Structure 1
Amino acid sequence: MTDDSWVPDTCTLPTAERPLRLAEFDGLFHDALRGADRLTARHLRLRLDGSAEPVARDLIDRESACCSFFTFDLARPDGDTLTLDIRVPDARVGVLDALALRATAARGR
């Protein structure tokens, strides 16, 4: 999935940098995603390998700075697993849909 047309206009990341950010998410998903659960339309929970914590934390910190509508919560329920909860407001469910699709597609590579 290379089309970033789902990225909202409110994203402040420069357009030229968006493919790089998407590639970073794809890399995280490919390397560390262990599962994904759509808890509600506005809430996605990703289960990640625990070793990905530094990469995940850096990425969500930078993403929060450019797309403030995301709420990210990173937790370690046990030593080997991270959970990354991603929430969006009703108006941004389409963005979460695209991110969920991207996660499952990258995991399958």
Structure 2
Amino acid sequence: MEAPDACTLPTAERPFRVAEFDQLFADHLRDSNRVDPQTLDLTLAPESRATVEDLTARELECCSFFTFTLTPAADHLRLRITVPPTQTAVLDGLQ
């Protein structure tokens, strides 16, 4: 995954953020579904909620073009990630 040009996260910190997403997905990702070019739905283990909330909040601070919608269910979390048309490559990287 590459951080987009519009991202304000310092370049030196970007590999660490990518590693955080990679670890979240390695530990908790159950399924992913590319709804359309601008939308990705992720199904995550319910115990990942605190990590997801923290990570997405920090990501919004530097990459405000993301929209994260977290929907809890009894046995999983759904994280919908939406980006504008100019940022679909970023979503490609997350997928």
Gaps of 5+ in 1: 101-109
Q: Is residue 31 of structure 2 the alignment partner of residue 30 of structure 1? A: no
What number of residue pairs does the alignment pair up? 95
Deviation at 1:71, TM superposition (A): 0.3
Match of 1:86 among 81, 91, 94: 81
Please give the TM-score of this superposition, normalised by the length of structure 1: 0.84
* Mapped partners of 1:51, 1:80: distance in 2: 9
Please give the TM-score of this superposition, normalised by the length of structure 2: 0.96
Amino acid at match of 1:79: A
* Mapped partners of 1:9, 1:88: distance in 2: 14
Q: Look up the match of 2:63.
A: 67
Amino acid at match of 1:11: C
Gaps of 5+ in 2: none
CA RMSD of aligned residues (A): 0.9
* Mapped partners of 2:67, 2:31: distance in 1: 19
Could you list the structure 1 runs, at least 4 aligned residues long, displaced by more than 4 angstroms after superposition.
Answer: none
Amino acid at match of 1:65: E
Percent of residue pairs bearing the same amino acid type: 49
* Mapped partners of 2:54, 2:3: distance in 1: 20
